[in-house]
Every structure is written in structure tokens, then in C-alpha cells.
Amino acid sequence: MDRISVLPKTILHDILGRLPDKDAAKTSVLSKSWSETWFSFPVVAAWSKDFFNLPELPLSPEDPLWLSKLDIFIEYVSKRLRRLHDQGLAVKELKLCMEDTCASMLVSQSHHIDKWIQMASESGVEVLQLYLTRSNDKFYNLPLCLAEAKSLTKLVLNGGIRLDPAFLNHSLKFFSVRTLFFCGILVGDERVMEHFISHCPLVENLTLILCLLYKPSSVGDPPGSRADYVKSLSLHGLQKLKQVEVQGIGEVYIDAQNIEKLFYNGAIVDTSFKLNLGSYKNLRWLSLWFVKRADMWLLEQLPKIPFLESLILNHCSLCERTNISGPQLKFLKLTNCPNLKEINIDAPNLLSCEYSGKDEPVISFREISNQLEVNAHILMTRQPVDRLRQFIQNIEPQEVLTSLSLFIFHPYSIIESLGTLPCSSSPPSIKHMQLCSVSHRQTQYFPVLSWLLSSCFPETISFSLDCNFNTRAFMVYFYEMLMCSKKGECHCYSRGPECWWHGLKVVKITHLERTYANIEDLKAMLNALPLSDNSKEEFITFTLELNFRIASILPLNVNSVEITNRR
């Protein structure tokens, strides 16, 4: 007996809402009861990819096969919405994705989309999401009937959609909207977008990505042929606004007292950006990408953000000597910011500092928390062999727990320089090293191993199991070499104190919380792993330990050590 079908409709609708849209639609063929449940389900979602199998369709969108597929799509959406609308049932969500249809075909059928939006608005739609094909000259004009959607809480407009200046003459009724998302849309007047947003007084999440402004040079120009990116944005009175994402707008002013999270991307902005929030007192999270002269903005604005907890700078232009301060700052991330030579950080409550880039600046902390961890992602390609060691030694103060993630691709310059590797003092100790790639040539294993252990002594070292990174055979070599060093075999020569390799050993190997005791177990585990790419990257971790006698002499200087490649 089917006990699920007799459950109340609200519960059945909740079950459908938890299924992927395509799977939820399939329930309509299970039985008459499920068919009725499906056609009363208040979520209408249609994705063109489920109707248009592009590899099987002819190139020309005028082909009858294209048109027949489009007719099926239109009939499906119309039937679902008409049935809900005519029975007086609610339409909570309308989600339409037509990115797999050509723009000319889409515009020719725009009257259907108008009707769908009108029926949804009259049926109390709460969520409206439109994803339409992008084009330079074909845009779908958003209908004015949307202005009457009083129950709307979320509006997503993505792709070839145009906001007509006629919206300026309408009193919009978006009193319940909490989320606005505009991406790649075209506005017919620079005031339209501001007018649209300002009539959402309760909006909490606002996203504006690469929006376009129509600037015709002559009468009759296609809508997108003379478009340029929106240059400026000014918003007032959004007291509920908490999260903002802006991409591609050069001048942004937002008068909102309660913004907590801000993401800004200035990748296509030609000039220095201008960003003013009016008030920063509640800002907790700030991420800046591709911002020119970001150092000047930070110097001026950081003192105005007293409660900032997270700061992310990605591909931002900074001066060679950059100072970053924040009394409440807990997370700092710097990625590929060129020309950096020195970073001075004054953040006594900082818990995590991440640096990624091809340069190795001096990183100094004025005050540190005892929980601070520093993660450095260094790309060692065609760089002097001692750069890694210098980078580690230039982190001040040295007692900072350093977690080092190291990416090595084609380390030929490292191998070529090993004959002159300076080893006049012991390497610095760090908390962790992560190695994600080595050469596939086994003759280069020893130079890489020598370089790693001459640059630093990690308490633990992890190797990626991704088959593209060639680390599996290297892991076995790494283990065997360190176990040989316990037996007195030396891979260098020195007239001074005994080489510190003699006291180094692997005390534990772990993978997915399982420990491996010996080389045979390690090999068996590696052989059992699939060679396909890992959708979720996994690592094997080696815990290292120094013999007490060797460790006690590490602070002392030793004579020069020449590393040789044993083949």
C-alpha cells in the first residue's frame, strides 16, 4: 500500500521541493494522485537544457526541430502556470532558464514570458528567477506588470534582460523583496537601476555584476550595440541592507548603516575606484578584487571600519611597503598582489593569515595571538633555490606557527642550482608543509627532497594524492630515504657537525584518519587507490621527528654542505 500518497498536500509539496526540478517533474507519471500533487505544486521551474539537446539539434535555430522543441518548452510552462492561476492556487516560485536558446528565437517568443510573469505576479509569486541568453543586439524587455508583484521576496535577473526607462514612471511595490541579483542586464537609463533598487526598502542582499547601460549614438541602434558598463551607482535609504556584491562599477556610493559584508571587483574599471558606504560601523567582512591603488583606499578607510574581522585582497595593486591594521581583524588573505616587498600587520586578534603569490615579501606582525597560523602558498617556478628558505626566515617574529602550502611545478631551476645551495646554518622549523606537485622523472626526486629539507624542517609534510601531481612514487621514495638515514647512510658530506638528516625520521603516516606503520602498508594503500582524478583532493601526511641529540645542535652553524644527486 502506498502510504506516501495519502499524506497531506503540504507534506507532499515539501518532498517535491527537496528534489531536483527534473526529478520532481517525473513524479507526475507515478499515479493520478501524484499527478494532481505535481500540478498543484507551487514551484514552476523549467530549464532549457532539459528540453534542448544541443548536440542533436541542427545549427540553424530556424530549423523545424528547434521550433518544435521550443513549442514543447512553452507548452510545459504555460500549462503549469495556467492550471495554478485558473484554480486560484499560489505560485511561490517561477524559475526559467532559457540560456540554451538563441536570442532571436527568445525575443520572438517574448509575449509568452510576459504572460508567465503576469500570471505569476497575480498568483502571489515570491521568487522570480530569469536566466536568458546573452546577445549584443537582442534583449528581452522586462514587462511593467512585474511592478505589481507585491509578494516578491527574491528577484534574479541574469543575461539578456532589459530594464526599460518606463519603470521610472511607475510606483514599484517591492515592499517584501529581500534579495536582488542583477547580472549582465541592460538598463535603458542610468537612473532605472537605482530607481528599481531604491523601491526595495527591505532588501538585505544586493548583487550587481557587469550591468550595461544603453547609449545609442543614433536612432534605430540595436539595444546592446552601443552599450557600455554602468559607471556609477548611488543608493540611499537601504537600512536593512547587509550584504553587497558589486562588479564592474567604478563609482559606488551606498548609504546603508547596517552593511556587514561587502565584495567589490574592479576588473574592468579603467580608473581608480571610488567606494563609499556612508558608514562602515557594522562592516565585518570585506573582499576587494582587481582594485587599482587599493593601498590608498585602505589607508584612508580602514580606520573607519573598527569592527572589521575579515579582509581579502585579491590581485589588488598595493605599494611595495604596505601596512594593514585592525583591532578586531581575525582573518587576512592576500592573493597575487604584485610588487609587494614588505607587509606590516598590526592586528593583535588575528587568527589566520594567508598569503599566495609569486613574490616572497617580508611579513611582519607587530602583535600576535597565540592562536595565529600563517599559511603561505608559494609557486616555486624558475626562482633561485634559496628563495623559499629566505621567505620563511623573513616572517617575523619567528615563533609564529607557520603552515606552509608549497606548490612546485617543473622545478628545473631548483635542480640546476643545487650544487651551490648554501647550507651554512640550520634550516628554520615550521609547523607544516604541503607538496602538491613534483616532476615525474625519478632522477629528480633526490634533488627535490634535498631542496625541501635544506629549506626548512616541517613537523608534518603532506602530499597530494591527485594522480596529475605525480606524488605517489615520490612519497615511497621520501619514506625510504628517511628510513635509510636512520641506518647511518648520509647523502651529503661535511667536515663539521653531523648532518641533521641523520636524526630525521618518519614517526607516523596518516590518510583519512588511518595510520600506516611501515612501507609495505603505505605501498599497498597507494596501489589500492584509483588513478582517476579526485573530485575531492586528498592528502597523505608524514609526521617527522628529530633525534634529540641532532636537534640540540641545530641552532649551531655548520660548515658548508654540498648536496649530490645519487642515481
pTM of the model: 0.83
pLDDT above 60 (res 139): yes
Paired residues of 472 in beta bridges? none
Q: How many CB atoms are closer than 10 A to CB 16?
A: 20
Q: In the prediction, which pLDDT does 308 show?
A: 95
Q: Could you give the residue ranges of the DSSP H alpha helices within 178-234?
A: 190-198
**Euclidean distance between CA atoms 132 and 126, whole angstroms:** 20
List, edge to edge, every strand of the sheet that includes 212-214.
140-141, 161-163, 186-187, 212-214, 227-229
Helix ranges (DSSP H) in 242-292: none
Amino acid letter, residue 357: G
For 511-554, write each residue's pLDDT tens digit: 888 888 788 888 888 888 776 555 467 888 888 877 655 555 44
Q: What SS3 state is found at 11?
A: helix
Instruction: Tell me how far apart the alpha carbons of residues 252 and 242 are, in angstroms, rounded to a whole number.
Output: 16
Q: Output 527 or 424, whichever has higher pLDDT.
A: 527
Question: Cell digits for 201?
Answer: 526598502
Overall average pLDDT of the 456-461 stretch: 85
When mean pLDDT is compared across 23-32, 238-247, 303-312, 332-341, the lowest value belongs to: 23-32
The answer to whether the beta carbons of residues 117 and 128 sit under 8 Å apart is yes
Average pLDDT of the chain, as a whole number: 79
Mean pLDDT of 152-175: 90
Give the type of residue at 557.
N
SS (H, E, C) 279-319: CCCCCCEEEEECCCCHHHHHHHHHHHCCCCCEEEEECCCCC
Mean per-residue pLDDT, 120-125: 92
Kindly tell me if the per-residue pLDDT of 381 is higher than 70.
no
Q: What is the DSSP letter of 50?
A: G
The mean pLDDT of 250-270, rounded to a whole number, is: 89
Mean pLDDT is highest, among 74-78, 349-353, 483-487, for 349-353
Bridge partners of 544?
506
Asked whether the predicted pLDDT for residue 362 surpasses 60, the reply is: yes
Per-residue model confidence as pLDDT tens digits over 484-509: 644 444 445 444 444 555 567 777 88
**Cβ 186 vs Cβ 162: under 8 Å:** yes
Dist CA 139 CA 159 (whole Å): 9
How many residues does this entry show for the chain?
Answer: 567
DSSP structure string for 493-535: E-SSSPPGGGGEEEEEEEETTEEE-SHHHHHHHHHHS-SSPPS
Least confident segment among 44-48, 269-273, 285-289, 307-311:
269-273
Reported confidence tier of residue 439, pLDDT bands at 50, 70, 90:
confident
Grouping H, G, I as helix, E, B as strand and the rest as coil, residue 56 is helix
Helix 472-486, helix 445-455: angle, nearest 10: 70
DSSP class of residue 48? Answer: G
Which residue matches cell numbers 517584501? Answer: 176
> If residue 243 lies in a helix (H) or strand (E), which one and from where to where?
strand 243-247
Query: What pLDDT, on a 0 to 100 scale, did the predictor assign at position 501?
Result: 59
Cis peptide before 42 (omega within 30 of 0): no
The residue among 176, 179, 182, 204 whose CA lies nearest residue 194 is: 182
